């Protein structure tokens, strides 16, 4: 006999996801979870998206803007937290996640973390630097107190101010010093006092309390209002052991509100006493100065004489000085005349016209002597020339040739023939006459010295 099975139920992905989501939300409506934050990011929507993890697993988490704006600190990667949330399933991706409703640092209060974060941020921006601190006025005429009108703090401040310096002008800016709106009211009060610009100093005060009670004075809006104040701000928050951010930003920190009142003004009686002491010192100094000037005046008066006597004495001295001056001028003029004469003599001695005339005579004399020397030299040279000309004429061979003589030369070498033995028969000769030359050729020689030329012995051409 066969066994029958009921038909299997088939789910769509959407149906299965919805059932899983219902189961998760039903069994885990709210859970506390301890984990470490990672992958933290804040998109434009303002929601917080991050992961919660431990050593073995992780889960996606989201904290909507409506919830995270209530946090006192800003979560960061690596921060260990304790969170309260609802486990659910995100259908489009089929991933389960936890929607965080509340978040606080694990082991450290959220306010303390927020305090340290804001402190570090403002320190990096330089809000705590001493170079931004304004000096406390010595004697402010108008004091503004920013505090709660209902607390004992205001009474203590007014009491101390009245005791130390009565009749001061004091403005009271009533604000909340605790609660959600306290920080905004404090910042607005500081801004308004700066807009009015009538106060010389501002005291920001509050009594002691827990970190939650003092939190408005750890807010960023109050810190920036103090930093932007053009008026000196004294921060007197809580007890001496309390050290909020407003104390760090303020120009002056007072350990208590009463101490702020003591810091802001001196004791009027002390100032009056100091003024009396300085008045006495000033009177004594002036009296000593007057006495000293009186003594000096008396000494001067003793040295004073009748001005007419002094004038007569000065007149005599002036006359003597005038006479000495006249004599000095005369001596100086005589000396200058002598110097002019010497200079004139030197100038005349070096006058170029005189030197030119002198050198002109010398030149003329030398010119005459040179002419005489040249005439004598030329006469001697001319006679010598005539003598040499006569000698040259006497030795001129052309003159001998004009007397009927001739010169015989060999045609080939141009050698002068002086003997019949120097030529051969048939050798061409050149006979130079006074006018022209003859070319001849020897037929025979007569060693006796006479040429046999009766039978056509000489043949030649005449050169002219």
Element (H, E) at 105: strand 95-105
Q: What pLDDT score was predicted for residue 42?
A: 92
Long-range contacts: 86-91, Cβ < 8 Å, 24+? Answer: 86/25, 86/28, 86/29, 86/30, 86/31, 87/24, 87/25, 87/28, 87/31, 88/21, 88/24, 88/25, 89/17, 89/20, 89/21, 89/24, 90/60, 91/14, 91/17, 91/18, 91/21
Q: What pLDDT score was predicted for residue 49?
A: 93
Q: Which CATH architecture has domain 13-107?
A: Beta Barrel (2.40)
Cα–Cα separations (whole angstroms), residue 176 to 151, 209, 343, 353: 10, 14, 108, 118
Cα–Cα separations (whole angstroms), residue 82 to 27, 28, 30, 109, 252: 20, 16, 13, 11, 38
C-alpha distance across the termini of the chain, in Å: 184
| Backbone phi, psi, residue 209, to 5° | 170, 180
Q: What pLDDT score was predicted for residue 187?
A: 93
CATH 3.40.50.261 in the chain, residue ranges: 136-266
Q: What pLDDT score was predicted for residue 456?
A: 39
DSSP, collapsed to helix, strand or coil, labels residue 6 as coil
Q: Distance of alpha carbon 3 from its chain centroid, rounded?
A: 102
Please give the Cα distance from 443 to 457 (Å, whole number).
6
Q: Distance of alpha carbon 219 from its chain centroid, rounded?
A: 43
Please give the Cα distance from 186 to 326 (Å, whole number).
94
Ordered DSSP codes for 363-400? HHHHHHHHHHHHHHHHHHHHHHHHHHHHHHHHT-HHHH
Residues of the chain with pLDDT under 70: 1-7, 107-111, 445-464
Please give the Cα distance from 262 to 299 (Å, whole number).
54
Cβ neighbors of 100 (< 8 A, separation 6 or more) are 48, 61, 62, 63, 67, 83, 84, 85
Domain 136-266 has CATH 3.40.50.261: yes
Q: What pLDDT score was predicted for residue 5?
A: 58
Cβ neighbors of 422 (< 8 A, separation 6 or more) are 410, 415
CATH 2.40.50.140 in the chain, residue ranges: 13-107
Q: What pLDDT score was predicted for residue 451?
A: 45
Number of Cβ within 10 Å of residue 271's Cβ equals 15
Length of the chain in terms of residues written:
464
Predicted confidence (pLDDT) per residue in 184-200, tens digit: 999 999 999 999 988 99
Cβ proximity of 38 and 51 under 8 Å: yes
Cβ proximity of 352 and 358 under 8 Å: no
Q: What pLDDT score was predicted for residue 452?
A: 43
Q: What pLDDT score was predicted for residue 453?
A: 43
């Amino acid at each position: 006999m066969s066994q029958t099975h009921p038909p299997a139920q088939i789910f769509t992905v959407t149906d299965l996801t919805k059932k899983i989501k219902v189961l998760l939300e039903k069994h885990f409506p709210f859970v506390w979870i301890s984990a470490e934050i990672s992958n933290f990011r804040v998109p434009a929507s303002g929601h917080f998206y991050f992961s919660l993890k431990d050593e073995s697993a992780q889960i996606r988490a989201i904290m909507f803007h409506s919830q995270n704006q209530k946090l006192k600190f800003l979560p960061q990667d690596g921060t260990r937290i304790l969170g309260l949330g609802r486990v659910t399933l995100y259908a489009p991706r089929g991933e389960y996640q936890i929607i965080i409703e509340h978040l606080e640092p694990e082991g450290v209060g959220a306010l303390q973390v927020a305090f340290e974060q804001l402190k570090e941020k403002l320190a990096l921006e330089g809000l705590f630097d001493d170079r931004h601190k304004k000096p406390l006025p010595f004697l402010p005429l108008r004091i503004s107190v920013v505090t709660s009108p209902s607390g004992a703090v205001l009474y203590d401040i007014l009491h101390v101010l009245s005791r130390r310096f009565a009749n001061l002008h004091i403005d009271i800016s009533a604000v909340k010093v605790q609660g959600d709106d306290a920080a905004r009211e404090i910042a607005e009060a500081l801004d308004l006092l700066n807009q009015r610009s009538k106060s010389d100093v501002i005291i920001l005060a509050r009594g002691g309390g827990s970190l939650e009670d003092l939190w408005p004075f750890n807010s960023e809006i109050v810190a920036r209002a103090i930093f932007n104040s053009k008026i000196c701000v004294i921060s007197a928050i809580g007890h001496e052991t309390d050290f909020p951010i407003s104390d760090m930003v303020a120009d002056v920190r007072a350990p208590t509100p009463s101490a702020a009142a003591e810091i802001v003004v001196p004791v009027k009686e002390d100032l009056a006493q100091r003024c009396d002491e300085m008045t006495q010192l000033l009177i004594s100094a002036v009296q000593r100065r007057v006495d000293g000037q009186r003594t000096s005046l008396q000494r001067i008066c003793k040295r004073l004489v009748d001005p007419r006597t002094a004038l007569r004495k000065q007149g005599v001295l002036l006359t003597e000085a005038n006479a000495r001056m006249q004599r000095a001028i005369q001596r100086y003029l005589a000396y200058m005349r002598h110097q002019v004469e010497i200079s004139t003599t030197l100038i005349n001695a070096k006058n170029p016209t005189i030197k030119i005339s002198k050198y002109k005579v010398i030149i003329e004399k030398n010119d005459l002597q040179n002419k005489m020397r040249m005439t004598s030299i030329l006469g001697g040279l001319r006679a010598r020339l005539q003598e040499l000309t006569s000698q040259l004429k006497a030795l001129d061979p052309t003159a001998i040739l004009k007397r009927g003589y001739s010169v015989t030369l060999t045609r080939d070498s141009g050698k002068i023939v002086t003997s019949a033995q120097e030529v051969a028969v048939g050798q061409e000769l050149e006979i130079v006459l006074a006018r022209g030359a003859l070319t001849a050729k020897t037929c025979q020689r007569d060693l006796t010295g006479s040429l046999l030329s009766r039978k056509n012995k000489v043949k030649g051409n005449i050169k002219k």
